[in-house]
A = this chain, B = another copy of it.
Amino acid sequence: MNDLRFTTDAVQAGRAPAATLAERLAAMQAADAVELLNELELADSIGIISEMPRDHAVLILDQPELHSAAAIIGALPVPVAQELLDAMSADRVTDLFHEFDAGTRSRLVPGLGRDTKLALRKLLRYPPHTAGSLMTTEFVSVPADWSVAQTLQHIREVERSRETVYAIYVIDPATKILLRAVALRRLITSGPDVSIMSVGRDVAPVTVAPLTDQEDVARLFRKHDLLAVPVVNDGNQIIGIVTVDDVIDAMTQEMTEDTLKFGGMEALHKPYMQIGFLHMIRKRAGWLGVLFLSEMLTASAMQHFEGELEKAVVLTLFIPLIMSSGGNSGSQATSLLIRALALQELRLKDWWRVALREIPTGLVLGSFLGFIGVVRIIAWQMTGLYDYGQHWPLIAATVGTALIGIVTFGSLAGSMLPFILQKTGFDPASASAPFVATLVDVTGLVIYFSIALVILSGTLL
């Protein structure tokens, strides 16, 4: 196998260097070879993959981190591409088929092996972010009437073509229903003649449905320390498995998406420097525009209090300070609740317990900031750094009281937003810091001016 090499027209010209590089890559960890290939031009990558022993090419093409895998396979001679696709893991082949254009698909499909075609037909139909889209059909399953020795012999025969052999799924021979998941480690310590059903604990296996969200799949892996989870249909028959490496990739992808959403933009699905300039603008302009339009309400609020503003310009000095404090406390509360809901430390029905906690928290934090604010005004006034006018104690009282109100409102609004999103069917992680800030800004202005009207009425206003 190791010296079965194939060539393509594409590397006829620069054959020697591609062959040398191919040899060097074959001696590396597959993931390191991928990093190197990602740095090269597409034509060079195609040349190198063509020159490589076939089993090593499969090892490299199987890595989801290889950016140009679809392009490489699309450029190889059809029989070579089909040979590689048949040897690759089914879930990876499915990902590549999602990337191929219609022409490449129809060129490649006819000559594929029967197993590959079947797997593709099964896997291509599941939407992204689901267990079905992460799963592979290459797992080990054995009938419940087999012995340990039979099972081990079967594993030895199929090991090369299975994504994992560390979990063995035992099914009812008649109904095909999944009965048990057995760990290979328990299998090799059991006597050869005992029934496969007697190995391991008699506990119903943890399973997921094909449409289970990948975040829920990740939660199960974390909870049960799984290496793989079976995906079962409504009849409890196993149709595939999700392995831990795909879960780690999914978790990383979710983390990136959630961070970008919390930062106030759409997910990008590509490395920063590889995104086209206009594409990047579009992804950022959407939310920025929506936030800008909402924030225009602050201008309307200010216009509403125009009379007060003209009478007491000194009030404007503290607008940015007060508004940002509301936004900051809201952003803290939102980040806390996004994670508490993601980790299922809290459920939707706990919203009122959170509210009862955030209100006193906001009052204390607001009093803390209000105290600093009042001290600042007294200090500047006393030392003559700035003159807030004859009514400066009232100004200080307005700023202090407004901070208590706004920080409390910010904490409450920021903590309730993830609940509202979850309740209305959105991901709580869609809540963004800029959105919370905008929400709190408008209300914050109204709170500030209302308090000013009460405290300063008859003096400044």
Question: A residues engaging B (CB < 8 A)?
Answer: 27-31, 63, 65, 152, 155-156, 159-160, 164-166, 184-186, 188-189, 202-204, 206, 218, 221-225, 227, 244-245, 247-249, 251-252, 255-256, 258-260, 262-265, 268, 271-273, 277, 280-281, 284-285, 287-289, 291-293, 295-296, 298-299, 302-303, 306, 309-310, 313, 316-321, 323-325, 327-329, 331-332, 334-340, 343, 345-346, 350, 353-354, 357, 360-361, 364-365, 368-369, 372-373, 376, 386, 407, 432-434, 437-438, 441, 445
Contact = CB atoms under 8 A, between A and B. Distances in A.
B325 A295 contact: yes
What are the 6 tightest A-B residue pairs by CB atom distance, in nearest-first order?
A: A263-B335, A433-B433, A298-B320, A225-B245, A271-B345, A272-B340
A189 B152 CA distance: 9
Contacts of A324: 291, 295, 298, 434, 437-438, 441
B340 A271 contact: yes
A403 to B, nearest CB: 9
Contact of A188 (B155, B303, B316, B376): B155
Contacts of A364: 281
Interface of A: prevailing SS: helix
B331 A302 contact: no
A451 B335 CA distance: 36
Contact of A445 (B224, B320, B331, B338): B320
Copies of this chain, tallied across the complex: 2
B316 A302 contact: yes
B299 A321 contact: yes
Contact of A284 (B28, B185, B265, B365): B365
A223 B31 contact: yes
A327 B324 CA distance: 10
Nearest to A255: B255
Contacts of A350: 273
Contact of A316 (B155, B206, B309, B368): B309
Nearest to A205: B29
B317 A302 contact: yes
Nearest to A165: B185
Nearest to A203: B29
Given A155-B188, A203-B29, A437-B437, A317 B299 contact: yes
Contact of A265 (B223, B296, B309, B335): B335
Nearest to A268: B336
A321 B292 contact: yes
A304 to B, nearest CB: 10
Given A285-B368, A324-B438, 14 more contacts: A30-B224, A159-B188, A263-B338, A264-B433, A265-B332, A280-B361, A281-B361, A292-B321, A299-B376, A303-B317, A306-B317, A313-B313, A324-B437, A328-B437
Contacts of A306: 313, 317
Given A203-B27, A248-B222, A156 B259 contact: no
Given A277-B361, A309-B313, A289 B335 contact: no
A316 B310 CA distance: 10
A178 to B, nearest CB: 15
A252 B339 CA distance: 10
A262 B335 contact: yes
B260 A262 contact: no
A434 B361 contact: no
A460 to B, nearest CB: 14
Contact of A335 (B30, B259, B277): B259
A285 B365 contact: yes
Contacts of A31: 223-225
11 contacts: A31-B223, A156-B189, A251-B252, A256-B339, A262-B335, A265-B335, A284-B329, A292-B328, A293-B372, A295-B320, A433-B433
A152 B187 CA distance: 12
